[in-house]
Amino acid sequence: MDLERLKKYALTICKVGANVQKGQEVWIRSDCKNEQFVALLVEECYKLGASYVDVEFTSEELTIAQSLYGSLEELEKLRSYHEERWINFSKVFPARIVLLSEAPDSLTRADSKKLVAANRKKTAIIKKYRDIAEDKHQWTIAGVPSYEWAVKVFPNLDKEEAYEKLFELILDVSRIDEDPILAWKNHNDKLLEISNKLTSYKFDYLHIKSLKSGTDIKIGLLKNTRFIAGGETNINNNVFYNPNIPTEECFTSPDSRRASGIVYSSKPLSYNGKLIEDFNITFKDGVVTSYHARVNEELLGEIINFDATSNRLGEVALVPFDSPISNSKTLFFNTLYDENAACHLALGTGFLNTYIGFENMTKEELSKVGINSSTMHCDFMIGDEETEITGYTSESKGVPIFKKGNWVI
């Protein structure tokens, strides 16, 4: 790839995404294959005034080896030196950058049961530190392709051609070839206009259905809910940032006690290095009552039963079918991109900042009003070109939001 374009991408991630502030620490998490691009990120972070940039490299092969040969008792321990990092995180509120590169089936050889169990135990410990820092720091997720991921997306190309094509797509949907700072400002302004309009209706519930898939579900919303789109502002120092590069969604956290109906997946879900395909989930009174998947049904069950509340919804996100990622006609096999090509839901924890007045409430109080609290958050796609969404007010007035997969509100 052209070095100048990569530098523009790195700047976009650091400035538009994480919006690194002068004197702020930065955490970067990436696959070890991305060493050269991470070096560009580190450089940009320091140029923006970062006090220190801490890089954590991961490896799929190491994860597989640990899952196959390490004992569960040892794998589920959060070592003291790892916990110290999270303690520091809850004190200094660093900007966080996560790069996604893994192929959707990269951990097929791993012991997924052991990985899920170990992750469940460690996540429960980490949660208290993440809760302290929630909405008080900036974070962003972006993608850098690996050969393995690229070949999965473009199986008819050789690995070099597939890599180049996937990277070109990522740069395109991330608005790199425009003035990215201005392009993202304009994009965020448009999304904010839509989200404000959705909020203004004060919907009691959404009815989402698709004649194509069979999805038909009613999802209750909270009395003081608001929709968020594009960027967000942390409450620690009032810094605006974009959690996802790219993003096309307007989302909120629903009332976790009010969801009834069935949803069908419109795209595969990559979870823990394995693909869950052609699945459906049924809800009643907010809780999953049944589910089925053609591929990896057991893994879907592990997500739903990850903890006591992972069987409830934490997010409902509206994404038009006519959007840059969807129009690329590409299945990315990666939730960051695929969720921004289709309406989606998320099992697990909700977003506190979607509740008006959350700044003056405790997490426990927000849980009581209906925002789901869980140790996990897993998005899955349900939108297609036949998606119809209607919002209903407390007076039972129906307001069309989506027709044929696109905005009409």
The average pLDDT across 134-145 equals: 96
| pLDDT over 90 at 273, yes or no | no
374 secondary structure, DSSP code: -
* Largest separation between any pair of C-alpha atoms in the chain: 59
- The least confident of 101-110, 210-219, 256-265, 308-317 is 101-110
**DSSP state letters, 257-292:** T-EEEEEE-SS-EEETTEEEEEEEEEEETTEEEEEE
Task: Say what the pLDDT of residue 178 is.
Answer: 85
> Beta strand 216-220 with 259-264: parallel, antiparallel or unpaired?
antiparallel
- Contact between 25 and 95 (Cβ < 8 Å): yes
* Gap between the Cα atoms of 254 and 355, Å rounded: 10
pLDDT per position as a tens digit, 25-39: 999 999 999 999 999
* Beta partners for residue 233, in sequence order: 240
At position 97, the amino acid (one-letter code) is I
The average pLDDT across 182-205 equals: 96
CA atoms within 13 A on the CB side of 94: 21
Confidence category of residue 272, pLDDT binned at 50, 70, 90? confident
Whole-model pTM: value is 0.91
Task: Say what the pLDDT of residue 358 is.
Answer: 94
Task: Say what the pLDDT of residue 105 is.
Answer: 87
Confidence category of residue 327, pLDDT binned at 50, 70, 90? very high
Three-state SS for 159?
helix
Confidence category of residue 230, pLDDT binned at 50, 70, 90? confident
> What residue ranges define each of the domains in the chain, with the CATH number in brackets?
3-173 (3.40.1830.10), 199-231+248-407 (no CATH)
